[in-house]
């Protein structure tokens, strides 16, 4: 499950919380951080052989960024990857994005468990098909990146977070910006 924040949006707390909750639910999660291009997100999905890409967008650029990521996934032959996410997205825009191939989209106040349940509800055959296609197109799965001490989700900071000494687990999780 690759999680990222495309565009200029720097509000990362929601994406970090999703990454942590998905990890706690037993999913392998790679949090790519903030201010990413769609190309960087798709490259990470390719490298990690992701089954799911989750975008968090609060900037209002969702009608550009979701379709761009979906197009790039298709160009890479990875259009079977579930593209989901959330943020400040109107119901009308959610429906338009779903019509363009995005999966379920989640707005403010949605329980993180709803997203986890949604991903788990996908049929095993779909996830199996994604895994087989990933293995065939990219060889063996890459070795897992190190886990950062601050948020315990594999992120690009990989142990370099200056806030790793936070005293409580929840503040460590919420503190890592992943960039």
pLDDT tens-digit map of 163-178: 333 333 333 333 344 4
Terminal Cα distance for the chain, rounded: 18
CA separation for the pair 170, 12 (Å, rounded): 15
* Predicted pLDDT at 122: 81
What is the arithmetic mean of pLDDT over 1-13? 93
* Predicted pLDDT at 179: 38
Helices (H) and strands (E) in the chain, counts: 7, 6
Indicate the range of 16-25, 38-47, 51-60, 117-126 predicted with least confidence: 117-126
Q: What percent of the chain has pLDDT over 70?
A: 68
Q: Which of 30, 54, 26 is nearest to 115 (CA)?
A: 54
Taking the whole predicted model, whether its pTM rises above 0.85 is answered as no
* Predicted pLDDT at 126: 66
What SS3 state is found at 80? coil
What is the arithmetic mean of pLDDT over 142-148? 43
User: How do residues 52-102 score in pLDDT, each as one tens digit?
Assistant: 999 999 999 999 999 999 999 999 999 899 999 999 999 999 999 999 999
* Predicted pLDDT at 9: 85
H helices present in the chain, as ranges:
13-24, 38-48, 62-75, 91-99, 112-121, 124-138, 169-175
Contact status, residue 66 vs residue 83, Cβ threshold 8 Å: yes
Residue 159: is its pLDDT beyond 80? no
Residue 151: is its pLDDT beyond 50? no
Residue 150: is its pLDDT beyond 60? no
Tokens of residue 125, six digits: 């055959």
């Amino acid at each position: 499950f690759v999680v990222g924040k495309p565009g200029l949006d720097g509000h990362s707390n929601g994406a970090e919380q999703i990454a942590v909750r998905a990890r706690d639910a037993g999913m392998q999660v790679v949090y790519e951080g903030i201010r990413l291009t769609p190309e960087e997100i798709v490259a990470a999905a390719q490298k990690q052989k992701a089954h799911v890409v989750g975008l968090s967008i609060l900037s209002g650029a969702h009608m550009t960024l979701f379709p761009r990521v979906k197009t790039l996934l298709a160009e890479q032959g990875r259009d079977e990857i579930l593209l989901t996410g959330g943020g400040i997205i109107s119901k009308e825009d959610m429906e338009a994005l779903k019509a363009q191939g995005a999966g379920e989209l989640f707005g403010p106040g949605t329980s993180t468990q709803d997203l986890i349940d949604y991903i788990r509800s996908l049929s095993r055959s779909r996830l199996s098909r994604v895994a087989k296609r990933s293995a065939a197109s990219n060889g063996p799965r890459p070795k897992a990146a190190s886990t950062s001490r601050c948020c315990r989700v594999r992120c690009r900071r990989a142990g370099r977070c200056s806030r790793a000494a936070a005293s409580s687990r929840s503040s460590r999780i919420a503190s890592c910006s992943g960039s």
